[in-house]
Structure 1
C-alpha cells in the first residue's frame, strides 16, 4: 500500500471514530437529562453493611465530586433520588456505565412497600440479566411528582468508575447501537491489522510481522474485554474466563510490544533486551500473584510499572531516531499512546474524573499507535517489495545473460558433437573396412589352409591303407595324423566360415548341451597330442545336461585339456571331475604335473605370458586368458590353483540357467 493513501485513510478513520464518539455522548446526554436525579456515595470499607444500616446512615452520603473511585476495598453505596414529571413515561432503564463491575445490587421499594433487590455484574451469568448487554442495566417503575429513592451497592476488584444514566427503551436501543458502531469500528481496525500482520508473517517469515499480529491481538482482546464485549458475546456464562483472558492480554501486551520493537527496529541494545525480558518475568509474576492474593495493590503497582516501561521505550526510541530512520515512524504513535495510557492510569486510581476524554483516550491512543506501527510495517513491506522487484529484475537480467551464454555454449557443443560424430563415423568406416579385410583375410587363410590340409589328409589316408603290414606304432602315428587333420578341418568349418569367423563377435548362444560328451570330446582331442598321458573322467557328480554355449564351452575344455598335455611330462594323469551345487556347476580339470610357483601363478592370465616350462613348446600365451574370457561371457568364471611340484587344478564355475527355448546374448 502506498504511504500517502495509507496515512490519509488512517487519519480519516480516526476522525470518523471521534465523530461517532461525540454522537454517542450526545445521545447519552440528551436522554440522561430527561429525568431529574441526584446521586450521592458512601464507602463501606468492610463490605458487610446491609440496606437497613445504609438507610440509617443517609446523612453520611456525600455529593459526587468525581465518578472515578479507583481501587476500593469493601463496597461503594450509591443513593439516587429521582423525580419524574407526570408527562414522562413511568418505565425507565438505569444503566451503570461500568462494564467491569463485579457485582451491582439495586435496592428499591415495590408497590407493596417491600424492599426488593436485583444483582447484575460481569460475575453474574448473562442469562440472569434482564437484557443481554455489557453494562449492568435495571428496569425501574418510577412514580410521578414525588422523590423516588433507590440504593446501589457496587463491589469490584477492578478500578471502580461508574456513571448512572436513565433511558427510555427506544433511547437505550439507540444508545447501544451507537456504542456498537463505535467499538465495532475500532475492533475492525485491530482485526484488520491482526490479519495484515499474520499474512505478512506467513508470506515472509519475518518475526516483526508475527509480533505485530500478536500485539494487535492483545490490544483487540483488551478493548473487547475492558468494554464488556467478550462477556456479552462470548463468555457470558463463564465470567471468570472473561477476566482471566483480559488480565493475561493486558499484562502480556507490554512485553509483546517490546518484542515488536526489537525485531522491527532491529535493536541490538542489551539494556533494551534485558528490560523486555524483565517485562515477561514481571507480567508472569503479576498474573501468578493475582491468582494467589488480592489484587487491590497488584494492579496499581503493575500499571505504574507499565507506565515506566512505556516511558523508557519512548525515550529509547527517541534517542535512536537519528541512527534508525524507522524509529521516527514508531515515535509518532508512541508519544500519544503513552500520554493516553498515563491519563487512563490516573483515572483508574481516581486522580482524574471519568469522562469522554479519560475513558476513550486510551482506545484512541492505542489505535493511533497500532496504526502507526502498521504504517511503519507497510513501509518495511514496501522496501522489501522494492528490494524483491530489484532482485527479480537482476535475476531476469542474469537469466537472459545466462540464456545467451548457454545458447552460445550449446551451439559450440553442437558443433563439437557434430565433429565428433564425423570422426566416429570415419572411425567406423575404417573399422568396417578392417573387418571386411579381416573376413577376406580369414577366408583366404581358410582356403589356403584347406588345400595343404586336404593333401595331408589324403596322404595320411593312403599311408594308412598301404601300411597294412606295418607295425602297430606306425599305424598309430598315421591314425593321429588323420585325427589331427579332422580336428583342424572341424575348426576351419566351424569358426572360419563366412557366417561366424570369430567367437567373440557373434555373442553367446545358450542351448541344452551334453556335458559328459563335451568332456569326453576334450579328453579324446587332447589324447592325439600324447599317447602316454592317462585321462580319467569321474563324472558321476556332474549333470549330464547343462545350459551353455556349446561352441564356447567345447573350445574352453579343449584348450585346457591341450594345455594339461603340453605342460605335463609323459605318463601324467589328467582328471576330469566336478560337482553340482544349487546355483552353479563346478567343472574341475586336475593334473599331477610339475605345477607353478607363486610368481607364475599370479601372471597366468596376462596376455602372451608363458612360464619357464613352456620353452620349446608351441603356444602364444593367450590360451588361459581367452578361456577365462569365454567363461565370463557365459556368466561364469575360471580359477587356477597350483603349488609347485604338486600339479595344477583348474575350476570352471558355470551358473545354472533355467532355459526352455534357445537364448542368445550378444
Structure 2
C-alpha cells in the first residue's frame, strides 16, 4: 500500500492516480486527527490459481466516508462508498466497519484506490479477506463482543443495584463510569451505528461527549475509592472540580468546534490525570493503606490500556493487534479486579461498622450504668435538698408571721405618734392665729405669731413626709375607689391654708369622679405645701381643675424661683432634693409619694418650670380607673417597689 495526503479534499481520482506524490505505507494507516482527505493505493497481485473474490476491510467504525475506486482512466472508474455519512443501503457489506467486495477476474497485478475522510482520528488496519475466513472471523467476533458487552452490562447492573441497596458512593460512580465505557465501545466498534442506523455526525458528537464525560466520572470514582475525602480533603475537592471543568470545556469544544478540538485535549487531560492519580495511589500504598494497593492493581491495568489507545490515536504508536484491543483487554481485567476490590472494600467497611457498633454498645452500656448510679445519687441529693428547703420554708413562714406582727405594731405606733403630734401642733397653730388676730396686738407680737405658724406648718409637712410612707403602703393594700365630687375635695384641701394663700379655680368638672379621696388629699397637700414653701410671701398659689372628655386635669402653679432643667427628670425620685432646697426642712419624699398616688390612679403628672417665672405641676386623671375591689397592675408594681 501507498498513501497520499489531499490537503484540499478536492482532488479527483484521475489527479490522484496520476500524482507523483505517493509514499509507501510502512505499516498500518495512522494519520492522527486531521481534516485532510487521505488516499490509499492498494496493489493486489493475483496468482494464476488464486481466488477471484475478496473482501477489503477498513477496521474503523467512525470514519465519515470511505470511497473505493476500481478501474482505470481508459476503461472508466467504478466508485463505491461506505462510512458514517453514507446510508447503510449503499454499503457493499452490512457490517460494523466499512467492507468492500473485490472481484479480480484476471491474474496479475490490480490496483484499487481508497479515499478516507474522518472527523475523528484517521487510524485503521486495512485487511484483505477471503469471504469464508471473514465470515468465520465475524462470527467469532460477534461471540466475543457479546461476552464483552454482557460482562459490562452485568457489572453495570450489579453496581447500580448494590448502590441502591447500600448507598455506597463508590458503586454509584463506578456504575456511571461503566455506562460511559459501554457507550464508547458501542460507538467505537460500530455496533450502535450498525443496528440503529445512527448518522455519522450524531455518532461522532455522542462519542465525543462520552469521552469528555469520562474525565469527570473517572476522577470521581478514583477519589471515592481512595477515600481522599478523609485522607487528603483539599485534594478531594480540587481534583473533581478540575475534572468537571475539563469535561465541560472539552465537551463544548467537541460539539461547537469539532470532534478533534474537544477530544484531543480531553485525551491529553486524561493522560495527565492518570499520572496524578497513580502517584497519589502509590503514595498512599507506601503509607500502608491497603485499599491503595487494590487501586493500583485494578486501575493500573486499565490506565495502561487507555494510555496505549490514546498514544495510538495521537500517532505515537501504530495501530496493531495490541493497540487496537488494549483498551478492551485492560477494561475487562480492570472490571474483574475492581469488582473484587469494591466487594473487599464493602466487607471491610461492614466489619469496621460492626466494630464501631459494638464499641458504641459497650460505651452505651457503661454510660447507662454510670447514669443509673448518677441518677440514684442525684435523687438522694434532691430528697435531702427538698427536706432542707421544706425546713427553710417553715422558718420563712414563721419569720413572715413575725414580720407581719411587727409591721402591724409599727403601723399602730405610727398612727399614735401622728395623732399625738398633730393635736398639740393644731393647738399651737390655733393659738398663734388668735393672738395675731386679736385687736390691739402689737405688730411685733403678730410677726412672732406668724413665725410660730410658719414653723408649725413646716413641722406638719415634715411629719407628713416622714410618717406617710407606712400609711401610704397600707392605703395601697386597701386601695378602694369612691365616687367623689371633685370640686369640694379640691376646696377642702385649699382651706387647710388661711386667707388667699391658695386660690382655687374650677371649670367644667363632672359631678362625680372615681378616686381614693384620702390618697388624693395626701398628693395635693404635698404639692401645695411645696408650692407655698417656694413662693414669695405675698404671692398666692393657684390650684386649678378642668374637666374634659379624657378626664380631669389638675394644676398647681406658683411664682417661685423655678426649677433648673437638669433637675426636672429627677424630681420624683425617692430622697431627691434640689439645690435650692439645701439648708431647708424636708426629706425628698413628698414628690415621690405624689407620683406613686397618681400612678395608682392610672394617671400621669408632668412639670413645667422656668427659672425666675415659677413652676406648674399638672396632674391628668382618667375617667375610668381600676376596679375598687382589685388593685391595678400599677398598684401591684407600687406594692413591690414599696416592699
Match of 1:244 among 208, 213, 220: 208
Match of 1:158 among 81, 106, 121: 121
Summarize the Cα distance change of 1:75–1:152 in structure 2 as closer, same or farther, 3 Å threshold. closer
Instruction: Note if contact 2:298-2:338 (Cα within 8 Å) is conserved in structure 1.
Output: yes
Is the counterpart of residue 186 in structure 1 residue 152 in structure 2? yes
Give the secondary structure class of the aligned counterpart of 2:596: helix
Counterparts of 2:583 and 2:15, CA distance in 1:
141
Deviation at 1:375, TM superposition (A): 5.9
Give the secondary structure class of the aligned counterpart of 2:555: strand
Is the counterpart of residue 135 in structure 1 residue 99 in structure 2? no
Determine the structure 2 residue equivalent to 1:537: 505
Give the secondary structure class of the aligned counterpart of 1:238: helix
Determine the structure 2 residue equivalent to 1:102: 64
Counterparts of 1:285 and 1:105, CA distance in 2:
31
1:240-639 equivalences under 5 Å are 240-249=204-213, 263=228, 266=231, 295=260, 299=264, 310=274, 314=278, 317-318=281-282, 321-326=285-290, 327-345=292-310, 348=313, 349=315, 351=318, 353-354=320-321, 358=326, 360-368=328-336, 370-371=338-339, 374=342, 378=346, 381=349, 385=353, 389=357, 392=360, 396=364, 400=368, 401=370, 405=374, 408-409=377-378, 412=381, 415-416=384-385, 419-420=388-389, 422-424=391-393, 426-432=395-401, 434-435=403-404, 502-506=474-478, 517-518=485-486, 520-539=488-507, 552-553=519-520, 555-561=522-528, 564=531, 572-577=539-544, 587-593=554-560, 602=570, 605-607=573-575, 622-639=589-606
TM-score normalised to the size of structure 2?
Answer: 0.58
Deviation at 1:245, TM superposition (A): 0.4
Deviation at 1:631, TM superposition (A): 2.4
Counterparts of 1:591 and 1:429, CA distance in 2:
51
Determine the structure 1 residue equivalent to 2:463: none
Determine the structure 1 residue equivalent to 2:637: none
Counterparts of 2:609 and 2:255, CA distance in 1:
95
Give the secondary structure class of the aligned counterpart of 1:536: strand
TM-score normalised to the size of structure 1?
Answer: 0.57
Counterparts of 1:371 and 1:387, CA distance in 2:
24
Summarize the Cα distance change of 1:226–1:435 in structure 2 as closer, same or farther, 3 Å threshold. farther
Counterparts of 1:330 and 1:116, CA distance in 2:
52
Instruction: Note if contact 1:638-1:650 (Cα within 8 Å) is conserved in structure 2.
Output: yes
Determine the structure 1 residue equivalent to 2:457: none
Give the secondary structure class of the aligned counterpart of 2:286: coil
Instruction: Note if contact 1:94-1:164 (Cα within 8 Å) is conserved in structure 2.
Output: yes
Counterparts of 1:265 and 1:129, CA distance in 2:
58
Query: Unmatched 5+ residue regions in structure 2?
Result: 46-54, 72-76, 104-110, 427-437, 440-467, 634-643
Give the secondary structure class of the aligned counterpart of 1:588: strand
Determine the structure 2 residue equivalent to 1:485: none
Deviation at 1:358, TM superposition (A): 3.6
Query: Unmatched 5+ residue regions in structure 1?
Result: 1-40, 82-92, 143-148, 458-469, 472-494
Deviation at 1:590, TM superposition (A): 1.9
Give the secondary structure class of the aligned counterpart of 1:557: helix
Deviation at 1:624, TM superposition (A): 2.7
Instruction: Note if contact 2:212-2:251 (Cα within 8 Å) is conserved in structure 1.
Output: no
RMSD (Å) for aligned C-alpha atoms: 7.1
Counterparts of 1:556 and 1:230, CA distance in 2:
105
Counterparts of 1:219 and 1:75, CA distance in 2:
32
Summarize the Cα distance change of 1:66–1:179 in structure 2 as closer, same or farther, 3 Å threshold. farther
Instruction: Note if contact 1:588-1:652 (Cα within 8 Å) is conserved in structure 2.
Output: yes
Instruction: Note if contact 1:535-1:573 (Cα within 8 Å) is conserved in structure 2.
Output: yes
Deviation at 1:530, TM superposition (A): 3.1
Deviation at 1:580, TM superposition (A): 8.7
Give the secondary structure class of the aligned counterpart of 2:321: coil
